[in-house]
Amino acid sequence: MAKRRSIEEELYRRVSINGLILFSIYSLQGKCSFERLIKECFTLFPKSFSLLKLPEWPDSRKLDRPLRTLRKRKLISGNPKTIFSLTKLGRKTAEEVAKTFRQRRLKL
């Protein structure tokens, strides 16, 4: 498996935590386990998903409330015991976040 690189902080710091989570699920072909999502979020966006006092470690608590919000807004389905997957609306939103990253990268 190829090692994934994090996205530059300058590109993602203005994106909401919900947008970052949707993009992370999207980058995993639209579905993943909770554990895989923690790893993906931390790998792509380490500053947003790390422990405060131990920034080299992921903080799964930073996903708890946003995941419930995303499910309530019908952007994702699933739960930590099964898998999370994007809904049609969630996929569209994640694609908009991806487009934002591409546009910002071009401007820098």
What does the alpha-carbon distance between residue 42 and residue 6 come to, in Å, rounded to a whole number?
A: 8
Question: Residue ranges per domain, the chain?
Answer: 9-48+68-107
Q: CATH number of the domain at 9-48+68-107, please?
A: 1.10.10.10
* Residue from 107, 106, 73, 90 nearest 27 by CA: 90
Mean pLDDT for each consecutive 10-residue tract of the chain (108 residues)? 66 91 97 97 96 96 96 96 97 95 65
pTM: 0.89
Instruction: Spell out the residues 6+ positions from residue 49 whose beta carbon is closer than 8 angstroms to its own.
Output: 20, 38, 41, 42, 58, 59, 62, 63
